[in-house]
Amino acid sequence: MEKGITRKKSPNIFKQEAKERIKLNEEKGDDKSNEKMENINQDFIKFLNVVRSHKHCCLFESRLPSQEDLYYFKQIKQHMDLQIIQNKLEQDVYSNVKITSLFRDLLLIFNNAIVYYPNETLQYFIAIELRANIMREMGKKPLFCPKIVCGLPAAGNPMLANQKLEKRAYNARNKAQEGESSVRRSVLACEFKNDPDFDYKGQQRRTTKKK
C-alpha cells in the first residue's frame, strides 16, 4: 500500500491500474455466485447485477491500489465498492424501508470515481456510464418517485445539489437586496424627519414667500 503518497497521481498510473485489474479479473473469472445471496430481495439483486453485468465492473468490485493512499482519503470521505454492498445485502442491512440506502451506496461508488479519477481514465468513463444505468433503472420503479429520490443526500443527487445551491444563492441575493432597501429607507426617513422642508411622508412642504 502507498499510504504515504499525498499528491495527485498521473493519469497513466490509473490507466495501467485499470488494465491490470481487468486482466486479473479475466484470469480468475467473474463468477459472483453466492448461496447467501439466494434469499436476498430480487429487486436489490437486480440493481447490483446492472453494475456487475458490465464487462469492466471489476474496477468497482473492491479497492484499487490507488484507493489506499492518503490523497484518496483526503478527496473521498466515504469509500464504497460492490463488495461492501454485497456484504451489506448478506447481513440484511438494507430493507424495503431503506431501499434508498442501496440506491445511495451504488451512486456513491460512481460519484467517488468521478471526483477522484481524471476524465481521461477508464475508471471515470465507466463510472459515468454505470451511474446513468442505475438512474435509468431506478426511474422504472414506481417506488422511486421524485419525492423519494429528492430525499436522498446530495451526493446521490447531483441535480438536486445544484438546485439547492442555486436556491441558496437566490435567497441570499434577495436578503441582501432587502437589507439594502431597508437601510436606504431608514436613512431617507431620518433625513426627511429632520428636514423642515419635508413632511413626515417625505413630501416637500409648500412654502409661501413673505412679502
What are the tens digits of pLDDT across the range 128-155? 999 999 888 877 766 555 544 544 544 4
Task: Look at residue 68 and tell me if it is in a domain.
Answer: yes
Sign of CA pseudo-dihedral 56, 61, 67, 68: negative
Task: Look at residue 4 and tell me if it is in a domain.
Answer: no
Local confidence band at 85 (pLDDT 50, 70, 90 cut-offs): very high
- State whether 45 and 134 are in the same domain: yes
CB-neighbour burial class of residue 60 (10 A; exposed 0-12, middle 13-18, buried 19+) = buried
Task: Look at residue 2 and tell me if it is in a domain.
Answer: no
- State whether 132 and 62 are in the same domain: yes
Average pLDDT, whole number, for the chain? 75
Phi, psi of 34 (to 5 degrees): -155, 125
Domains in the chain, number: 2
Domain that holds residue 170: 157-211
Please provide the size of the chain in residues: 211
Local confidence band at 44 (pLDDT 50, 70, 90 cut-offs): confident
Q: Are 67 and 79 in contact (CB under 8 A)?
A: yes
Measured CA to CA in angstroms, residue 178 lies from 7, 66, 101, 186, 188 at distances of 45, 50, 40, 12, 15
Task: Look at residue 57 and tell me if it is in a domain.
Answer: yes
**Residue 116 pLDDT > 60:** yes
Q: In a 3-state reduction of DSSP, which class is residue 5?
A: coil
**Residue 40 pLDDT > 80:** no
pLDDT digits (tens, 9 = 90+) for 47-60: 888 889 999 999 99
- State whether 141 and 190 are in the same domain: no
> What does 63-97 look like in DSSP terms, one character per residue?
--GGGGSHHHHHH-SS---HHHHHHHHHTT---ST
- State whether 31 and 134 are in the same domain: yes
pTM of the model: 0.62
C-alpha cell, 121: 481514465
Query: What integer pLDDT is reported at residue 11 of this predicted model?
Result: 83
Alpha carbons 211 and 209: distance in angstroms, whole number = 6
